[in-house]
Structure 1
Amino acid sequence: MGILLTLLPPVCAALACLPATAALQLPLTRLNFVAPAKSGLPVDSVQLFGQRGVFQLVNGSAIHGRPEAAYCLRLGVGTPRQIITAKLDTGSSDFVTAGAKTPGLDRWFDAKSSSSLVWQHQLVRTPYTTGFWEGHLATDVVSLPGPVPGPVRAAFSVAERSSGYFQAGAGAWQASVGLAFERLSNARTAAGGGNFADTLARQLGDAMSTGSPPVPFCLQLCGGDAGLGSFIRIGQANRTDMLYASVRWDWYYEVVIADIKVGRSSLGMDCKEYNMDKAILHSGVGDIRLPARVHARVAQQVGAQQPELGNRFFNGLGLLCSSDGSLEATKRLLDAFPSVTFSLVTPDNQTVDLELSPAQYLRPVVLGGSPAGNGSCFRFGIQSTSDGAILGATFLSGFLVEFDRAGRRIGFASSSCPEANSSSRVLGPRPYVAIGGPQDCAFFRADVAASTSVLRPAAVAMATVCAMCIL
């Protein structure tokens, strides 16, 4: 018999979230923070939504960066135990923790203070478009939150140098737990290395009912200030209403987008553009990020229903606020926007539709001192990128999502979050009528198809690993 670590709301039981033999389930906390804006421009404009749908542009308090959120576990690492906050990241496969003082970071893992740490004599450096981390691979004991078996011995990188990666200040996290395919892992050859879900399954043995690695795991990411109801579950969802999209390559969780609709209208683009140069599910990124031309078409179609909205709102530089913050005013604001639907290819070459309600893709932002007073403010959670389509936490947060690496598929079912977006839906499967079928939408990558090497971990990076002795 397995163990259950978090109390679930009554609605979860009604939806049969748990199997007869429960697997390991760990509660997650949502941390809100402001990430540096790539463009250097602050969010500095606010529009008030009037009762008649009229928008008025006013000057607001600047947010010097991009409002973001991370879903985190609190872990105890080393002997004696040091408490760290770790972001869950389906866009990478490594467990890494800050290992030295970084400007603004008030907590990190002190490797010298742990009597149980074993160095693996391997240097790991991972550059990103906006930063990097560099450190050495080690193994140490890791304790999970709650009354659980363990601890386990896990492999992770201790980052002695970093910039622009770990989050300092409010909403701080000092570590990242990667959950993608093992191919992206720098630690896959080390004892206790690879995907953290597999590390738990290998070492907790009979205390869990998850089967042999690679084990499936589920994420439920909820909104609200603290993400009440969020969890990671090691094991299957066991939901009869779950529909599956196929995973194209076993590196990131790469899917194929067959179509995108705003309301009931397709964007009408060549579907290869939706997947150029890849389309991945990435819990470590807050927004939905789409190739520039696709983002422009989405903004155009959403904006056609709200012509008073300007480019600053759709480019993430402006906020939209209800005038008084009441539930009625907020509902009127959300009801003025259309749904946005992503059609993903299924294992049998049909499609499953993930319909996102406005409450899912309009991301709430706390804006102190704004003209909206105590009003509810939102930013557009669909942004532009040059790194392929990234379906981030905004996309995932409407659903219970099962990551089945062995079956190379991702399952979607309705969420049991307390504030679950009732109008976000999982629909299908549906036949795909285009000539050649939905796989014609896939962007062909010769390097991924022909190679099993690590290509680019996390959101936009390529890891370089070299062996060396620790002096």
Structure 2
Amino acid sequence: MEGKLSILYICFVCLNIACCEEINLYGDAGQAYSVEAYLGHPHQKLKLLVDTGSTTLAIASYARQNSKEYFHPDNSSSIYDSGKSVQAEYSQGMWSGRLVSDFIQFPSLPTIPEVRSDIALITQSHKFFMNGSGWQGLLGLAYLPVGAWGDGVVVESWLDSVDRTLHKQISFYLKLCGPISISNSTHYGYFKMIDDHKPVKPIKTFRTPILRKRWYEVGVISIRVLSPVNTSPNDSQIVRDTVNVPDEDMCLKLNAEKSIVDSGTTNIRLPDNLYRQVVDELKNVYRNSQVFILDEFWYQGEAGCWPEPQVWTLPWLAIDLLSADADNQYFTLEIPPQNYMRVVGVYNSSDKTGTVSEYCYKLGLEAGGSETVLGYTAMEGLQVLFNRSAGWIGWQTSDCGTKARITGPYNVTKSLKDTCQLIRPVSEVAISIRAAQWALCAISLIAAAVLIYLLAPCIKTFFVRRLPSSQQISLSQAALVEQDNA
């Protein structure tokens, strides 16, 4: 079996090279997708997890229990150490370290030059490098407000460094293909950069607006289990409702905290009560199957193992997303069961009678408290474009992976932004300026109060004996600027 899989993989790689599209993303079960990078001078080769759910370029600088690969800062002649501490906390895990800058280059991204970028060198971590991860750091691709933090520190992202170097804004797309076959847990994909000003191929693109430029926050209108008549493998037999009337209560729950698109998260994460509702429906449908699955698989994240690879006959999932074209419009991502019934391991063990195989799976859905996260389980079999400057995410069908589909757009009678109480788009620049204005205002008020208190005796003297005009001074910085301009 292993020999056949190796031959299949080699043939697959050769076919893709012949088609002039290079595979540059890889991952093992539960480890998301990573890309190869060269850091420092001379180059040190490391693997970085491609993460749209964070911003900072963060690299391990010490050996972990399950990995001896890490960045050696003392071996780089081009590194600059700021001496400042930084840290970051995620929904699972955290790290702390120090802020440096160094050169980074991605050999599989030939259009992007080597750039000097801020790097958080991780010196301590907790539940961050999990499962013997095959990667040594994170390539954060989100916006600045969700970067690492420290006292008096602003950590620039790699994407912002690229924009600054090229003097233009660059977007990117992810084509996540999933495993090569149903009996393999290694997945692969493509990570490419896009010049926003160059024309692209005229492929049908469904766009959803980025509601807030922090994470890639979008409007998830509903998540549904499709009926069997809507999940026929033959496209000509697909029958769909003209429009699905959104469930207002579900929509409010899905977006109560935030709904984000996060390639660094494995599963589709739903608010607790909606998670139970969707999983109950899937479980009830599967009761008629001859294959028995324990509750631990459905509700507790336990793996289920079988002697043969499974061809799942479960229903498809529908994820309705707000359209960027109109407030009363949405489109639907249709996710096949091969996405959310994830193969997490293929195990072979030899005994006296021969070889015994086990194919293990986990459910690609999980409870997320009050937030919604569309992890890479919702992205496999699709091509996802992240247009950072224009503020939208484009979804396209893909020529690799599962046959996930996109349908729509569908119109409803009311504004979905109003119905679901979605936040209006606000640019990251406006957020930063507004925050700076309020901070400056507060500092000015405090400083003014302190100065008035300290200078009260001087003010009193001023009213008693006025100084000659030639000796007058101003205590206002704004006045000094005005005087210089005059």
TM-score bucket of the superposed structures, by smaller chain: 0.7 to 0.9
Q: Give me the whole-angstrom Cα distance separating, in 1, the residues matched to 2:308 and 2:36.
A: 36
Q: How many residues align?
A: 385
Q: Give me the whole-angstrom Cα distance separating, in 1, the residues matched to 2:191 and 2:14.
A: 10
Find out whether 1:440 has 2:419 as its counterpart. yes
Q: Give me the whole-angstrom Cα distance separating, in 2, the residues matched to 1:182 and 1:26.
A: 29
TM-score, with length taken from structure 1: 0.72
Instruction: Quote the offset at 1:125 in angstroms.
Output: 1.5
Q: Deviations for 1:74-98, whole angstroms, at most 9, x for unmatched residues?
A: 1111122211111010001110101
Counterpart of 2:219? 256
Indicate the SS of the match to 1:359: helix
Indicate the SS of the match to 1:69: coil
Counterpart of 1:355? 334
Indicate the SS of the match to 2:177: coil
Counterpart of 1:176? 138
Counterpart of 1:413? 396
Counterpart of 1:338? 315
Instruction: Quote the offset at 1:323 in angstroms.
Output: 4.6
Distance 1:8 1:156, change over 3 A: farther
Q: Which amino acid aligns with 2:256?
A: M
Instruction: Quote the offset at 1:301 in angstroms.
Output: 1.1
Counterpart of 1:319? 303
Distance 1:370 1:239, change over 3 A: farther
Counterpart of 1:39? none
Which residues of structure 1 form unaligned runs of 5+? 1-5, 14-24, 34-67, 206-210, 456-471
Instruction: Quote the offset at 1:131 in angstroms.
Output: 3.0
- Structure 1 contact 106–168 (Cα < 8 Å) conserved: no
What does 1:298-317 correspond to in 2, within 5 Å?
Answer: 298-307=278-287, 309-317=293-301
Counterpart of 1:458? none
Find out whether 1:400 has 2:383 as its counterpart. yes
Distance 1:259 1:12, change over 3 A: farther
Aligned identity (percent) is 24
Moved more, 403-412 or 235-244: 235-244
- Structure 1 contact 283–393 (Cα < 8 Å) conserved: yes
Correspondence for 1:389 among 372, 380, 392: 372
Q: Deviations for 1:133-170, whole angstroms, at most 9, x for unmatched residues?
A: 1111111111222583643211111112222213463x
Which residues of structure 2 form unaligned runs of 5+? 1-12, 180-184, 228-243, 436-486
Q: Give me the whole-angstrom Cα distance separating, in 2, the residues matched to 1:363 and 1:453.
A: 44
Distance 1:100 1:411, change over 3 A: same
Find out whether 1:85 has 2:47 as its counterpart. yes
- Structure 2 contact 109–193 (Cα < 8 Å) conserved: no
- Structure 2 contact 28–187 (Cα < 8 Å) conserved: no
- Structure 2 contact 174–189 (Cα < 8 Å) conserved: no
Distance 1:387 1:106, change over 3 A: farther
Q: Which amino acid aligns with 1:230?
A: Y
Q: Give me the whole-angstrom Cα distance separating, in 2, the residues matched to 1:86 and 1:415.
A: 24
Q: Which amino acid aligns with 1:28?
A: N
Q: Give me the whole-angstrom Cα distance separating, in 2, the residues matched to 1:287 and 1:448.
A: 28
Instruction: Quote the offset at 1:130 in angstroms.
Output: 4.1
Find out whether 1:220 has 2:175 as its counterpart. yes
Q: Give me the whole-angstrom Cα distance separating, in 2, the residues matched to 1:26 and 1:193.
A: 31
Q: Deviations for 1:292-322, whole angstroms, at most 9, x for unmatched residues?
A: 1010010111112112544212224333455
Counterpart of 2:441? none
Q: Give me the whole-angstrom Cα distance separating, in 2, the residues matched to 1:229 and 1:72.
A: 9
Structure with a larger share of its residues in helix: 2
Counterpart of 1:138? 100
Structure of larger gyration radius: 2
Counterpart of 1:122? 84
Indicate the SS of the match to 1:9: helix
Distance 1:151 1:134, change over 3 A: same
Distance 1:221 1:8, change over 3 A: farther
Q: Which amino acid aligns with 1:284?
A: G
Distance 1:281 1:127, change over 3 A: same
Instruction: Quote the offset at 1:432 in angstroms.
Output: 2.5
Q: Which amino acid aligns with 1:396?
A: M
Q: Give me the whole-angstrom Cα distance separating, in 2, the residues matched to 1:75 and 1:227.
A: 18
Distance 1:362 1:376, change over 3 A: same
Distance 1:71 1:340, change over 3 A: same
Distance 1:289 1:151, change over 3 A: same
Q: Give me the whole-angstrom Cα distance separating, in 2, the residues matched to 1:263 and 1:130.
A: 31
TM-score, with length taken from structure 2: 0.70
Indicate the SS of the match to 1:232: strand
Distance 1:7 1:448, change over 3 A: same
Q: Which amino acid aligns with 2:28?
A: N
Q: Deviations for 1:234-278, whole angstroms, at most 9, x for unmatched residues?
A: 446644211111111110111111122201498954310112211
Q: Give me the whole-angstrom Cα distance separating, in 1, the residues matched to 2:406 and 2:128.
A: 34
- Structure 2 contact 16–22 (Cα < 8 Å) conserved: no
- Structure 1 contact 126–134 (Cα < 8 Å) conserved: yes
Q: Give me the whole-angstrom Cα distance separating, in 2, the residues matched to 1:177 and 1:227.
A: 18
Counterpart of 1:55? none
Q: Give me the whole-angstrom Cα distance separating, in 1, the residues matched to 2:17 and 2:75.
A: 43
Counterpart of 2:357? 374
- Structure 1 contact 97–159 (Cα < 8 Å) conserved: yes
